[in-house]
Amino acid sequence: MIAENIVVKGVVRSSDGCQAHYVASDPRASYTLIDPATSLQSYNPSCIDWVSPHHADYNLLPPEHLKEHYKDTSVGNRGLPLSFLQVKTVEEGTEWYKATTKYPDEVCEILAKYEWGGLRYTTKKEFKNMKKKTIKKAEKQKSMQCVHHNEPVLLHFD
């Protein structure tokens, strides 16, 4: 018999907080723990709802030796979500901001470019050039004509 490495993939918590089900790579190694403070005589574990680990996001606080640097920021008080720390690309970051914040899609893209792209190191002149390009692109979209079927097309030349 070959022994394989079994890894805990995640933890699913019950809605009442009294149980935790540990999901392993091998289903035979998965197990459930019940909070020892719970009275087992009155507790019925079959009548609870389970919260999927995809709906839970844990905040990680900075290590003790770095807490002084973050004491006045939201990172020092609340920490960073684990899902935020797992993002690697601008596209993933855009989707993360869209899913977790109420910002418009354009703002989510800019925030993702700032955090995971090269926007953080952009100079003032590059921002001005980007603004000009955006304005020109918007003007070009406005100047395009729409043709509807079954209607006469009128073209006016100045």
Helix (H) or strand (E) holding 50: strand 50-51
Place of tokens 């005589």: 41
At 45-90, the pLDDT tens digits run: 666 776 666 667 777 888 888 888 887 877 777 888 888 888 999 9
> Band of the pLDDT at 93, cuts 50, 70, 90?
very high
Distance CA 154, CA 148 (A): 11
Helix (H) or strand (E) holding 34: strand 31-34
Global pTM value = 0.48
Residue 82 CA to chain centroid, in angstroms?
9
Helix (H) or strand (E) holding 109: helix 105-116
36 vs 93: which has the higher pLDDT:
93
Pairing of strands 50-51, 31-34: unpaired
Residue 3 CA to chain centroid, in angstroms?
36
Distance CA 108, CA 93 (A): 8
At 103-157, the pLDDT tens digits run: 988 888 888 988 888 877 778 888 788 888 878 887 877 766 565 667 776 778 8
What average pLDDT score do residues 20-41 get? 80
Per-residue pLDDT at 97: 92
Residue 30: how many other CB atoms lie within 10 Å: 15
Domain range annotation of the chain: 8-38+48-55, 59-141
Please give the single-letter amino acid code of residue 20.
A
Tell me the Cα Rg of the chain: 26
The answer to whether residue 95 scores a pLDDT higher than 90 is yes
19 vs 38: which has the higher pLDDT:
19
91 vs 43: which has the higher pLDDT:
91
Distance CA 131, CA 125 (A): 10
Of the candidates 36, 6, 12, 39, the one whose C-alpha atom is nearest the C-alpha of residue 24 is: 6
The answer to whether residue 1 scores a pLDDT higher than 50 is no
Helix (H) or strand (E) holding 85: helix 82-85
Burial of 114 (0-12, 13-18, 19+ CB in 10 A): middle
